[in-house]
Amino acid sequence: MRIVITGAAGFVGSHLVDMFLSLGYEVVAIDNLITGKRSNLTVNKNLTFLEQNVYKYIEVEGKVDWVLHFASPASPIDFMKYPIPILKVGSSGTINCLGLAKAKGAKFFLASTSEVYGDPLEHPQKETYVGNVDPISERSVYDESKRFAEAATMAYHRFHKINVRIIRIFNTYGPRMRPEDGRVLSNFITQAMTGKPITVYGDGSQTRSFQYVSDLVNGITKLMDVEYQLPVNLGNPNEFTILELANIVKKITNSSSEIIFKPLPDADPKRRRPDISRAKEILKWDSKVSLEDGLKKMIDYYKSIGLTKV
Ligand code: UDP
């Protein structure tokens, strides 16, 4: 098997690279390194790294069995920092990846997101829910480019008969999420570990459901092994308020940080929890890692890269 992964030096992409290498596959890892890190990739004779902007062009020689499109900044702070690259990687980037799959006769796998549901009016969110997205909010660059990416994927599937997979990834965490990433768990853990105030946005009553990265990787592998072209939610259905989460992190890190409240970002979804019955049925998959166990592994990772308690 020869696999192309875009966003391969990022948080999720790099875990996929490790998994494919462990299976003895050849991997072509593409990243423009705006949020990914070269150091997330190991040295391996079966791994080729290409520093390319997938929304400009993709050049890969030789046969390819799968194209996995995982490139995109995905943290809400990146929505303000990199709005145009996000729009481009989800639109032209997806078209280029689909074009590569078409040219190589490869299968195509899209990393989509729970953000396609926007601020959901249905709870929990099933794949059949079409979403509640504000097209001009600060989050819209990510939401709309991923919605476009799904539309493009289905169009190439229907028109060009490309064999596709689409996953909608719900909040995921684990080692290699950058300490400065800006998402809630990396913020809370780094703040708790360094004795800084834990920043809860809004009143902390908004909810999220957190999936450990190995559960996600497991679901991705299973979906590659079945024939199913419609979107599949991958997430952990255990739902927490953000204030609960702040207290859990504080307790696990044994931190004396105070919890402070900051303004809620634009269009921040009020509730989010995946309905994973489709994944359970089609993939015989379920999330396994508890929040407590996952958090401990993420804390160990931050310790290993030098983040220490003060
Ligand atoms: N959040 C927070 N403090 C932070 C970072 C995030 O309270 O330091 C909140 C954010 O407002 C949102 C939730 O945590 O309601 C999850 O945010 P994240 O950035 O992880 O991703 P999202 O799920 O919003 O895409």
**If you compute the radius of gyration of the chain from its CA atoms, what whole number of angstroms results?**
19
Name the band, by pLDDT with cuts 50, 70 and 90, for residue 308: confident
Pocket flag, ligand 1, residue 114 (CB < 6 Å): no
- Cα separation of 132 and 27, whole Å? 37
Name the band, by pLDDT with cuts 50, 70 and 90, for residue 121: very high
Query: Catalytic one among 55, 82, 117, 142?
Result: 142
What is the b/e burial string over 9-22, where b = at least 16 CB atoms within 10 angstroms of the residue's CB? bbbbbbbbbbbbbe
Pocket flag, ligand 1, residue 265 (CB < 6 Å): yes
Pocket test of ligand 1: the residue of 119, 172, 183 to mutate, having most ligand atoms within 8 Å of its CB, is 183
- The dihedral through the CA atoms of 284, 286, 289, 294 has a sign that is positive
Domains in the chain: boundaries: 2-172+212-236+272-288
pLDDT mean over 194-211: 97
Is the pLDDT confidence value at 175 over 90? yes
Name the band, by pLDDT with cuts 50, 70 and 90, for residue 103: very high
Q: Three-class SS of residue 45?
A: coil
Say yes or no: domain 2-172+212-236+272-288 is CATH 3.40.30.10.
no
Residue 36, exposed/middle/buried by CB under 10 A (0-12, 13-18, 19+)? buried
Is the pLDDT confidence value at 46 over 70? yes
CA of 269 to the centre of ligand 1 (A): 9
Q: Three-class SS of residue 149?
A: helix
Is 142 catalytic? The answer is yes
Which pLDDT belongs to residue 98?
Answer: 98
Give the pair of three-digit tokens for residue 47: 């791994």
Which pLDDT belongs to residue 215?
Answer: 98
Pocket flag, ligand 1, residue 118 (CB < 6 Å): no
Please tell me the pTM assigned to this model.
Answer: 0.97
Pocket test of ligand 1: the residue of 181, 201, 207, 249 to mutate, having most ligand atoms within 8 Å of its CB, is 201
pLDDT mean over 302-308: 89
Which pLDDT belongs to residue 309?
Answer: 60
Runs of H (alpha helix) within 161-183: none
* Mean pLDDT across the chain: 97
